[in-house]
């Protein structure tokens, strides 16, 4: 009998750790499923919007993820009106759907300018 490659899914602590491992991998590995999650927001008039973004940072301890976008984008307009979003990742190799709901903070200013310079 083969060992279950997804045995982590049967224990909540192991599942939590596995999810964060996969999310964090998306920051550094261009081929990881979590590299390009779908970000869902709601427009000021209540219409849902979903688009692909690039995962730039993930912190398991803080429970945060970071994506970057232009301040003039529709995403920012949506998030200023309703500062909540969802991220979705489908990881086919693990048969795992990740859904993260978040309260969003929009960062601006000199510290953010330095971040943009590193990714440009």
Listed by start position, the domains of the chain span: 7-119
Higher pLDDT, 40 or 94: 40
Compute the average pLDDT of residues 105-114: 80
Is the pLDDT assigned to residue 106 strictly greater than 70? yes
Mean pLDDT of all residues in 29-54 = 97
Give 7 or 76, the one with higher predicted confidence. Answer: 76
Residue range 8-37, pLDDT digits in tens: 888 899 999 999 999 999 999 999 999 999
Q: What is the mean pLDDT of residues 65-87?
A: 94
Q: Are 21 and 34 in contact (CB under 8 A)?
A: no
pLDDT exceeds cutoff 90 at 120: no
* Residue 78: predicted pLDDT: 97
Residue 96 pLDDT: 92
Q: Maximum distance among all alpha carbons in the chain? A: 57
Residues of the chain with pLDDT > 70, as a percent, come to 96
Q: Which of 36, 16, 35, 39 is nearest to 26 (CA)?
A: 35
**Region 65-70 average pLDDT:** 90
Instruction: Name the architecture of domain 7-119.
Output: Roll (2.30)
Judged on CB neighbours under 10 Å (0-12, 13-18, 19+), 101 is exposed
21 token code pair = 């491992």
Q: Are 105 and 83 in contact (CB under 8 A)?
A: yes
Q: Which of 67, 55, 69, 50 is nearest to 20 (CA)?
A: 55
pLDDT score of 119: 65
């Amino acid at each position: 009998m083969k060992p279950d490659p997804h045995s982590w899914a049967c224990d909540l602590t192991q599942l939590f750790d596995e999810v964060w491992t996969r999310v964090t991998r998306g920051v550094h590995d261009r081929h990881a499923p979590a590299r390009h999650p779908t970000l869902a927001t709601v427009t000021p008039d209540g219409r849902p919007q979903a688009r692909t973004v690039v995962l730039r940072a993930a912190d398991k301890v803080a429970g945060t993820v970071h994506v970057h976008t232009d301040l003039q984008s529709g995403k920012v307009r949506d998030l200023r009106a309703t500062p909540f979003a969802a991220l979705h990742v489908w990881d086919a190799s693990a048969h795992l759907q990740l859904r993260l709901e978040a309260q969003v903070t929009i960062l601006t200013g000199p510290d953010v300018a330095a971040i943009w310079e590193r990714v440009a």
